[in-house]
Amino acid sequence: MSGAGQAGAGVLYQIRGLRVSFPDMARKPLLGPAPRIEILKGLSFDIPRGQTLGIVGSSGSGKTTLGRTLVRLVAPSAGEIRLEGQEIGGLAEPELRPLRRRIQMIFQDPLSSLNPRHRVGTIIEAPLRLHRLDAPRDRAARALSQVGLDRALARRYPHELSGGQRQRVGIARAIALEPDFILADEIVSGLDVSSQAQVLSLLEGLVGELGLTLAFISHDLSVIRRLCARIIVLEAGEIVEDAPTAQLFERPSAQATRALIEAIPLPDPDQPGWTV
């Protein structure tokens, strides 16, 4: 596969021949197993430590499933996922649990990913307590200030916050655990441009400050151009392009990549290819 670097000390994730399929219940016969739909069709790539990787593709390309497989919300049906050499693709949930601290996720919709019955403080502290980290309250407060939120917000419920604030809480929850890897799944697509910019620059700052390895899933190439060093383009469950960001924008090699780039409406009435 293209772009897969050599396994070495600098590699955090090594993905080899990753396949994911789900049973298609709509076409399940009355008796016997349902036919399976292949979502990911044998992906191989590495994520070096400290890199910010963009994962893009149109809806149905499998980018969300890829993300959820990396953080093992989804189990692969074949292939390997190595986290610093350790195979985690086949681990059962109890075996994964101690590793969970190292691989965190920020979700697309903060309203759905923050339990409406819990206060912000509880939401950020609960994972810290689960992993028996010392001084969870202080760590939570530090995480809140790292994402630029007032500590007093710890006593609020998610619905009392604005969209941008909620997404910051999602980020705070992830970084409070001091993980090695964070997956960010379309985390700004529900926000206003202004909040978008704030959340993106916050994330960029944190990546540098905390030495995070980040995978950033988006359908929108323009919002990840600055953030990501490298971009993987998915189409129909396969990697069609894997290239450094600058190269991908200047010389896109795959048709799917070109289509994604051209489809972005720039704030410019004279953008080529858009005349109607």
Partner 1 sequence: MSGYLEIEGLSVAIPNGPRLLHEVSLNVAEGEVRGLVGESGAGKSMIGKAVLGILPRAVAQTGGSVRLGGQDLGALTPQGRRHLIGQTSALIPQDPLTALNPARRIGRQITDRLVDILGWTRREAEARARALLDEVRVPDPARVLRSYPHELSGGMRQRVLIAAAFAAEPKLIIADEPTTALDVTVQREILRLIREMQARHGTALLFVTHDLGVVSKVCQTLTVLYGGHVVEDSEVRRFFQGPQHRYAAALLAATPRYTDPDASLTPVPEGVIAATEAELAGRAG
Partner 2 sequence: MGETAQPALRADGRAARRHGLGLRLWLSGGWIALLALAALAAPLLAPHDPLAQDLFAGRLPPFWVAGADPLYPLGTDSLGRDVLSRLLYAARIALTVALVAGALTCLIGAALGLVAGFYGGWVDLVISRLIDIWMSFPPVLFAILLIAVLGTGLSSIIIAIVVIDWTRFARVVRAEALTQARMDYVASAQIAGMPRRRVIWAEILPNVLPTIVALLTLEMGIAVIVEAILSFVNLSISTDDPTWGGMIAEGRISIHQAWWVLAFPLVALFLTVLAFSQLGEGLKDRFDPVLR
Helix (H) or strand (E) holding 70: helix 63-70
> Which among 212, 206, 215, 189 is positioned nearest to 148, based on CA atoms?
206
Considering the complex, what minimum distance in angstroms separates the CB of residue 139 from partner 2?
Answer: 13
- Confirm or reject binding of residue 178 to partner 2 (CB under 8 A): no
Q: What is the DSSP letter of 218?
A: E
Is there binding between residue 165 and partner 2 (CB under 8 A)?
no
Task: Find the shortest distance in angstroms from Cβ 170 to partner 2.
Answer: 8
Does the footprint of partner 1 cover residue 244 (CB under 8 A)? no
Residues in 200-229 at the binding interface with partner 2, rule: CB under 8 A: none
Binding partner selected for residue 118 from partner 1, partner 2, none, CB under the kind-specific 5 to 8 Å limit: partner 2
Q: Does 264 bind partner 1 (CB under 8 A)?
A: yes
37 makes contact, choosing from partner 2, partner 1, none, with CB < 5 to 8 Å by partner type, with: none
Site string for partner 2, 125-164 (x = CB under 8 A): -xx--xx-------------------------x-x-----
Asked if 87 and 247 touch (Cβ cutoff 8 Å), the reply is: no
CB–CB of 188/199 below 8 Å?
yes
Nearest Cα to 81, choosing from 10, 15, 36, 23?
15
Our CB check for partner 1 shows the closer of 88 and 256 to be 256
Three-class SS state of 45: strand
Q: Which residue number, 116 or 273, has a Cβ lying nearer to partner 2? A: 116
Q: Which residue, 14 or 65, has its beta carbon nearer to partner 1?
A: 65
H or E element that contains 55:
strand 52-56
Strands 52-56 and 230-235: parallel
The span from the CA of 167 to the CA of 191, in Å, is 9
Residues 212 and 171: their CA atoms lie apart, in Å, by 12
Q: Which of 19, 49, 101, 142 binds partner 2 (CB under 8 A)?
A: 101
The residue count for binding partner 1 (CB under 8 A) is: 35
Residue placing its CB nearer to partner 1 in the complex, 125 or 186: 186
Does residue 37 interact with partner 1 by CB under 8 A?
A: no
Residue 92's alpha-carbon distances to 87, 95, 96, 126, in angstroms, are 11, 5, 6, 22
User: Which CB, 141 or 217, lies closer to partner 1?
Assistant: 217
Three-state secondary structure call for residue 27: helix
Query: Which residues touch 89 (CB under 8 Å, ≥6 apart)?
Result: 18, 69, 72, 75, 76, 79, 80, 81
Nearer to partner 1, 37 or 263 (CB): 263
Distance in Å, CB of 190 to partner 1, minimum: 9
Q: Does 2 participate in binding partner 1 (rule CB under 8 A)?
A: no
Cα(165)–Cα(203) distance, integer angstroms: 13
Binding site for partner 2 (CB under 8 A): 68, 71, 73, 93-94, 96-98, 100-101, 103-105, 107-109, 112-118, 126-127, 130-131, 157, 159, 173, 177
